[in-house]
Amino acid sequence: MSNENSLLQEINQVMQNAGTAFTAYQKTKPEARALFLESIANNIESLGDALLAKTSEETNLPLPRLTGERGRTTMQLRMFAQMLREGSWVEATVDTAIPDKTPPKPDIRKMLIPMGPVVVFGASNFPYAYSTAGGDTASALAAGCTVVVKAHPGHLQTSAMIAGAIEAAVKSSGMPANTFQHVTDASFEAGKALVQHPETAAVGFTGSYTGGKALYDYAAARKNPIPVFSEMGSINPVIFLPDTLAKNAENLAKQYAASITMGAGQFCTNPGLLIAMEGDGLYNFLQNLAVEMSAIAPAKMLHAGIHKAYYTKMQDALDQQGVKLLSKSNTTPAALEALPSIATVDGATFLQDPLLHEEVFGPYSLMVICKDSNELKAVWKSLAGQLTTTLMGTDQDFADNESLLDIAPTIAGRILFNGVPTGVEVCASMVHGGPFPASTDGRFTAVGINAVKRWVRPVCYQNCPDHLLPDALKNANPLGIWRLVDNVWMKG
């Protein structure tokens, strides 16, 4: 038997297992699932410093950063446990019968149910929060879907340790065998087979455009296409308006030098594109930014592949006609370290050069200098879909540039005012996603409790005897959840 056949057999077995487990797992009660998620969080914490040390070894990420990310990951798991207990996420909707209407109105009750086994492809840059027990896994398990994680080859041992923590929780919580499965084969073929397997109901991915788009295409080519939520990063354009540049150049430069170089620029929300109108304010800001950038020490990137890609993509950008290096770090980078750097280009050149619209993953940003506000708007609107876009301005700036407020929502899923896009708060109002290619489906978010909505679909019951209804839809509302009953929200 060829290796490929053996791989396909293995994937087939994994997905069959996931399908069998789903039949039982989808029926688990909200409280049981909540305890299961909390148990995963506890088990991850119990891995202690050994986990942090192993991950730091595999990813070059420093311990304080990893400690923070671990906290975010366990917090996410507990947040979904809380969501399950609160219960309104199922969008229970009840329309009672009106027998004397013509024709008679039947009793109809709707709720969200899990779609089936979900395949998760984790991210290299978030070995915890967007990986094996990250947001995709947590939201899918919360939804009632079984999960198959394809381990990221950049942190295989970390992924195995986390998988062990989840598997232990499956057992101790009495969840069905294979509620969670871990696949370590890193091949292209494994990914394709996982996405195209008939048992696979949906796919979550965080990573590069190339990877995420390939999975989307595999899913769309299935006999029965399935939803794919690929979060593929973006260049997160930031607009600096004149009045704030005139008044706050020094602080803005500090703030943005830090954001551009944070974590060696390895965030999908890294501000890769700055946009402003020419003028003394801008030149003063650029001078400050150049000084700040030159003082920032290079940091190690995740692995050799990302490091090489950073230098290649940055050099490609710098080689474009009209692009000028503004500043780079004064410190010579050691092995695997990325040189923080910043360049400038004029608006007209940027508009004509698609290469400059592409992400350079690392501590690099490009300032587009526009001749007026029309060119600034044209530059902004020329961009593909983004995760975030940011407006830096004073009240005076916003009053002077009101039309920017209308454009912003068409650009991105998250619009920031006078802040930096790096840092994604985990809360109900967060939108992490955006128009293609920021994500493959801008109708959903990958962060916050609404991330669960990617893995569920509505089903309604018409004239179902009360005792046969799911608890969420029973007359007595035994779960005590908020429901829309005859068009009125109530908990009674």
Phi, psi of 260 (to 5 degrees): -65, -35
Q: Which is nearer to a copy of itself, 300 or 377 (CB)?
A: 377
Q: How far is the CB of 168 from a copy of itself (least distance, A)?
A: 28
d(CA 84, CA 456): 14
Cα–Cα distance list, 440 to 203, 206, 236, 436 (Å):
11, 11, 16, 5
Angle at 486 between CA 481 and CA 489, to 5 degrees: 40
Member of 84, 197, 385, 479 binding a copy of itself (CB under 8 A): 385
Q: Is 482 in the site for a copy of itself (CB under 8 A)?
A: yes
Q: Is 28 in the site for a copy of itself (CB under 8 A)?
A: no
Q: Is 465 in the site for a copy of itself (CB under 8 A)?
A: yes
By CB under 8 A, the residues from 134 to 193 that bind a copy of itself are none
Member of 49, 100, 319, 406 binding a copy of itself (CB under 8 A): 406
Cα–Cα distance list, 103 to 142, 171, 460 (Å):
39, 52, 19
Q: Which is nearer to a copy of itself, 27 or 29 (CB)?
A: 27
Q: Is 466 in the site for a copy of itself (CB under 8 A)?
A: no
- Of 38, 58, 69, 268, the catalytic one is 268
d(CA 22, CA 17): 8
How many amino acids of this chain bind a copy of itself (CB under 8 A)?
Answer: 72
Q: Which is nearer to a copy of itself, 356 or 387 (CB)?
A: 387
Q: How far is the CB of 425 from a copy of itself (least distance, A)?
A: 6
Cα–Cα distance list, 380 to 118, 238, 377, 396, 403 (Å):
35, 9, 5, 20, 12
The interface region with a copy of itself, picked from 5-13, 291-299, 310-318, 443-451 by CB under 8 A, is 443-451
Residues near 53 by Cβ (< 8 Å), separated by ≥ 6?
63
- Look up residue 255 and give its amino acid: Q
Phi, psi of 148 (to 5 degrees): -115, 120
Cα–Cα distance list, 173 to 29, 34, 66, 309 (Å):
12, 10, 27, 43
Q: Which residues pair with 112 in a beta bridge?
A: 458
Member of 286, 430, 446, 472 binding a copy of itself (CB under 8 A): 430
Member of 95, 185, 278, 400 binding a copy of itself (CB under 8 A): 95
Is 276:286 a contact under the CB 8 Å cutoff? no
Q: Which is nearer to a copy of itself, 143 or 260 (CB)?
A: 143
Q: How far is the CB of 229 from a copy of itself (least distance, A)?
A: 11
Q: Check if 231 is active-site.
A: yes
By CB under 8 A, the residues from 307 to 366 that bind a copy of itself are none
By CB under 8 A, the residues from 101 to 140 that bind a copy of itself are 103, 105-106, 108-110, 113, 115-116
Number of other CB atoms surrounding residue 432 within 10 Å = 26
Q: Is 381 in the site for a copy of itself (CB under 8 A)?
A: no
Q: How far is the CB of 365 from a copy of itself (least distance, A)?
A: 19
First to last CA, the chain: 61
Q: How far is the CB of 488 from a copy of itself (least distance, A)?
A: 10
Member of 118, 162, 293, 416 binding a copy of itself (CB under 8 A): 416
Q: How far is the CB of 466 from a copy of itself (least distance, A)?
A: 11
Is 77:34 a contact under the CB 8 Å cutoff? no
d(CA 375, CA 347): 7
Q: Which is nearer to a copy of itself, 328 or 414 (CB)?
A: 414
The interface region with a copy of itself, picked from 145-153, 278-286, 298-306, 455-463 by CB under 8 A, is 455-463
Q: Which is nearer to a copy of itself, 60 or 230 (CB)?
A: 230
In the sheet with 118-121, reading across from the earlier edge strand, the strands are: 180-183, 147-150, 118-121, 202-206, 228-231
d(CA 174, CA 36): 8
Q: How far is the CB of 3 from a copy of itself (least distance, A)?
A: 31
Q: How far is the CB of 459 from a copy of itself (least distance, A)?
A: 5
The interface region with a copy of itself, picked from 98-106, 160-168, 181-189, 262-270 by CB under 8 A, is 98-106
What does the block give as tokens for 205? Answer: 């991915």
Q: Is 414 in the site for a copy of itself (CB under 8 A)?
A: yes
Q: Which is nearer to a copy of itself, 10 or 95 (CB)?
A: 95
Q: Is 29 in the site for a copy of itself (CB under 8 A)?
A: no
Closest CA to 183 of 4, 8, 25, 11: 11
By CB under 8 A, the residues from 202 to 241 that bind a copy of itself are 216-217, 220, 224-227
Closest CA to 438 of 231, 229, 208: 231
Q: How many residues does the chain have?
A: 492
Q: How far is the CB of 416 from a copy of itself (least distance, A)?
A: 4
Member of 2, 5, 321, 463 binding a copy of itself (CB under 8 A): 463
Cα–Cα distance list, 152 to 101, 155, 156, 356 (Å):
58, 6, 6, 29
Member of 279, 305, 409, 480 binding a copy of itself (CB under 8 A): 409
**Catalytic positions:** 231, 268
